[in-house]
Structure 1
């Protein structure tokens, strides 16, 4: 007779994809696993900033060029409006401006 999964797994969980029992939740280390390969690189052999400056320049340019048409035209428009308003205010508060609009 074939035992059920609950009996084979100790009641803690199902048998894995390849029929291997991994152990209960948080209690790994049951039967040895086969076919699991992991590769690591020593911490002193890693270069965490490799290509960071190059990527920063080109990524910044890509993002800026994609968004510039959304903020540049309104910014230019409002700059010229503010410049015109400042010049107009200076004129209206000058001697010539007061003389021209003295009746109003």
Structure 2
């Protein structure tokens, strides 16, 4: 086969793995042989139940995600709560009459 025959044909080979670009149909990439082993299926939109099992999946997916993450955020949250509670009670005590008397005496 002469190189000029390739240039005059409808398909121009691109690359080294047998991919072709069809000259006549711009934007339709593909090879000269039909694809094998590709199955496509369609279902009419009015035959689909798009929310089938959504509520059930949402409950169990939420529980699964919560149970895997709770040990990362619960202990620091509890520690911060108890530290803040202690600080507020200590501040209230130190600003009371008994607290001022205690700190003034030292």
TM-score if structure 1 supplies the norm length? 0.70
Task: Structure 2: give runs of 5+ residues left out of the alignment.
Answer: none
Give the alignment's Cα RMSD to 1 decimal: 3.3
How many residues align? The count is 98
Q: Match of 2:87?
A: 85
Aligned 8 A contact 1:91 1:97 in 2: yes
**Cα distance between partner residues in 1 of 2:55 and 2:94:** 52
TM-score if structure 2 supplies the norm length? 0.69
Q: Where in structure 1 do 4 or more consecutive aligned residues deviate above 2 Å?
A: 4-10, 21-25, 30-38
Aligned 8 A contact 1:92 1:98 in 2: yes
Does residue 43 of structure 1 match 2:45? yes
Q: Match of 1:71?
A: 73
Task: Structure 1: give runs of 5+ residues left out of the alignment.
Answer: none
1:67, CA displacement in angstroms? 0.8
Q: Match of 2:103?
A: 101
